[in-house]
Structure 1
Amino acid sequence: MDGVPEIPPFFICPISLQIMMDPVTVCTGITYDRESIHKWLLAYKKKTCPVTKQVLTDHSLTPNSTLLRLIQSWLGDNPLAGQAEGLLETTPTIDGENVRKLIDGAKSPVSDQLKALRKIRSLLKENESNKRLMEEAGLAPVMASLVAENYAQDVASQFDQSEIIGEEALSTLSLLHLSPETATRLAGMDLITCLSWVLQRGSYNARVHAATVLRSVCKSVQQNYLMSLQTELFDGIVEILKDQNSNQATMAALSILMEVCPWGKNRIKAVEAGVVPVVVEFLAENNERRKCEIMLGVLELLCGRAEGREAFLAHPASVAVVSRKIFRVSHVANEKAVRVLLLVSKYSSSSSLIQEMVDMGAVFKLCMVLQTECNLKTKQKAKEILRLHWRAWKAFPCVPFHGLSSVLRAVGESSS
């Protein structure tokens, strides 16, 4: 949401990269949002801490009350952020009976339908209590049905009243919080396929709303619905990232990639759709912390596949762009950038890559990682890269920075 102040980094969950609504601490001392760590442990069946990679010997979650109070205090001073994250308590301005009448009105003939939809959307924007009432009354499936009906390809192509109704319903759906149960129900209604079509062919506003809804669905839905996504979804995401007209849509598109790429053949589909060069170019011109961290996370996921690494190396600026983000964004970005460089250099020993990593300052940055206060995991990854190609890099004439040659010699000695 434009105009929202930047959230302090320690308020951000390391998994979701969103502000923590219920911070809890695991046995390794790292704090996560309860919903995200629950999903990590139970839905994904992971047994390690996402940040430290240590095995969690104790799965108990300790509420971080101090951090929660800090977040709540900050939200009180920054109400726009509170509205964006849905953490502010409010009083409903409508009762359950009128909610049901409005939802019934949304199923009426066109003229009454538009009136009901606009009234519903207005009430949703008033406060969170209205939103909860309508969610509990089953508004989301009704809106999803209207979206599917009015954005059917043979209907929406006519650009008539159906498109107006579809966009109103989609706008309304984008304002709702989708529980895992509701998201699963919507996915079962083939909503993901419909929204993928909207991403490519809908109006500007419809595409923004579609990206927002898809992010909510992909974040909450059961993973089996993410295993066989259609290529149209990734084509639509690429179009959103190319446009860069809406910060909301851009963040939603990047978040969708983070949610879906770990599953099935989605990484290959994303690469084939052209995600890698688009993200590299976007990363080159962006220094906003959260965006950079997510973009580097996307590149890390895609470079885990041979197809992703090939697409990454095919871009003439990729190594330079990723290297440049080290020390310029955040500790999280440092770690992700080093991981990307490790994935690429681990599976490629071409002379052109070895030369490029020197010319673009990547080798210098990796040596600096060893000398600065980066976390241990990042240092280990940097050292691994230097060991991989030490024999080639030590053949370069000289490194014109005091102290750097000794670092390289130490790495070389430990690898020999």
Structure 2
Amino acid sequence: MERSNQDSEMEFPQDFRCPISMEIMKDPVIISTGVTYERENIKKWFFRYKKTTCPATMQRVENLDITPNHTLKRLILAWQNGQSPSSSSSSSSSSSPSSSSCLSSFKRDEMMSLLKTLNSTPFKVTSLRKLREIIENGDEMKLDFMLLGGLEMVFRLIIQILADSSDFMVFRACEEALGVLQHLPITQGSDGKVIELFLKPEFMKSMVIILQRGSKEARVSMISILSKLANSDFNWNVALNDQGVGMFKSIFELASDEISTKVSSSSLQVLIKILDSSKESRSKAIEAGAMCTLIELLPDSNRSKTEKILLIIKLLCECANGKMAFIEHGLGISAISSKLFNVSEIASKICIQIFLLICSFHDPTNKVLEDMLIYGVVKKLVILMHMSGPSSTKNKTVDMFKKNCFFWSRYPCFPSELKEYLGSN
């Protein structure tokens, strides 16, 4: 009786408990959904209560067969023996590594079993969710997953939506597969196969579909994957060849997310990485309407978000079509001017760099120069001119004033002291 009470107080691992009774299992069995239950509990569920669903997942079960889970039963017995009162005081330090080893062995066996049946099981969503839980346990499980061909299997599930994206279960399986992929190491050094798979056009097409129509969780997983790719030696020129415009439209939509600051910030960081590493990608982003979205996001953005947006605008303005898109928006100069000297030193420096870039654009109507004067840019830049100490940004600003002084000086609002400053310099 005393032993029974001590057993009931043990902190058993959650996997040892029956999902129905939440008690430790003595005779664990697996049903067709891959979930393990105590034999008597699941038999009552199926045959006494006439249920045809999986209690844990609520998925419909066509096959009511049950299979003994011998591996889990041995693991439970080994764990119980390691936690017995006679051994707890004298060998607790040695039993802990043994229990951990048994648990790892069980998880590995479970992963192998799930991978073997992943293609044939009708319960792919449940299997993938369980796989994600397993590989979250550590780098060793992630490595085993990849060595067992898990990466290729997950990739095949992701691109299945290209064949039938209207099938709800196919779509859900794809989303869960992305959740698994999110937790794997994605670097050129970890495994060349990873990058090779991501470069396939099928993956990029599937990715755009998920970014456009996937659940919020799936799109967050996709942004996480893209962030890892952006930090690796990934060839974005190849990846964006066909799907670049669609991908950028979806990422900018996430960047505009007003509910989740984390999603919005991560999306902007991904964009910075992509655009900074590939000039060809900037044309795709501009074609996707990047400049319009960024300028409209700017007024209500906080400091961190503002700095990211300004940096992206600056990267786009390094291209001729980016300058054109900025000027054609109409409110671009006003939006940037409102952030100059009002956010942070970093933000102000980027603002000045943007103005230097657009001033170099050939504009026969001189509308850019006129707007810079009207929206107070020229007046604000005078502050920079009076700052002590030389700097490359200050020198470039002086050159800009010298080049455009004749046009600006015709307006009454042009500072008279600046004429003297430019003349003396």
From 103, 107, 119, the equivalent of 2:130 is 119
Q: Distance in 2 between matches of 1:153 and 1:142?
A: 18
Is the CA contact (8 Å cut-off) linking 2:303 and 2:344 kept in structure 1? no
Q: How does 1:2-401 map to 2 (within 5 A)?
A: 95=104, 98-99=107-108, 101-102=110-111, 105-106=114-115, 108=118, 109-110=120-121, 113-122=124-133, 130-139=137-146, 142=150, 145-181=153-189, 182=191, 183-190=194-201, 191-223=203-235, 225=238, 228=241, 230=243, 231-261=245-275, 262-263=277-278, 265-289=280-304, 291-349=305-363, 350-372=365-387, 376-399=391-414
**2:230–2:273 contact (8 Å) kept in structure 1:** yes
User: For the structure 1 residues 243 and 145, does the alpha-carbon distance in structure 2 shift closer, same or farther, using more than 3 Å as the test?
Assistant: farther
Question: RMSD of the TM alignment (CA)?
Answer: 3.2
Distance 1:178 1:92, change over 3 A: farther
Q: Which runs of 5+ in 2 are unaligned?
A: 1-99
- Give the Cα–Cα distance (whole angstroms) in 2 for the partners of residues 122 and 375 of structure 1: 57
C-alpha deviation, 1:277, in angstroms: 0.5
| Runs (4+) off by over 6 Å | none
8 A Cα contact 1:369 1:378, kept in partner = no
TM-score by length of 2: 0.65
Report the Cα offset of residue 274 of structure 1: 0.3
Deviation string for 1:277-330 (max 9, x for gaps)?
1011111221232x2222111111111111111110111211111122122222
> Conserved in 2, the CA contact under 8 Å of 1:323 and 1:362?
yes
Q: Aligned in 2, Cα 1:379/1:95: closer, same or farther, shift over 3 Å?
A: farther
Aligned to 2:80: none
1:374 Cα shift? 9.3
3-state DSSP of counterpart to 2:231: helix
Task: Identify the range of structure 1 (203-212 vs 175-184) with the bigger mean alpha-carbon deviation.
Answer: 175-184
Is this contact kept in 1: 2:256–2:264, CA < 8 A? no
Partner of 1:18: none
The CA deviation string for residues 5-32 of structure 1, in whole angstroms up to 9 with x for no partner, is xxxxxxxxxxxxxxxxxxxxxxxxxxxx
Q: Return closer, same or farther for 1:298/1:175 CA change in 2, 3 Å cut-off.
A: same
Distance verdict in 2 for CA 1:225–1:153, change over 3 Å: same
Q: Structure 1: which 5+ residue stretches go unaligned?
A: 1-90
In the TM superposition, what is the alpha-carbon distance from 1:124 to its structure 2 partner? 5.8
Cα gap change, 1:259 to 1:228, in 2 (>3 Å): farther
Task: Give distance in 2, aligned partners of 1:93 and 1:270.
Answer: 51
Gap change, CA 1:371 and 1:202, over 3 Å in 2: same
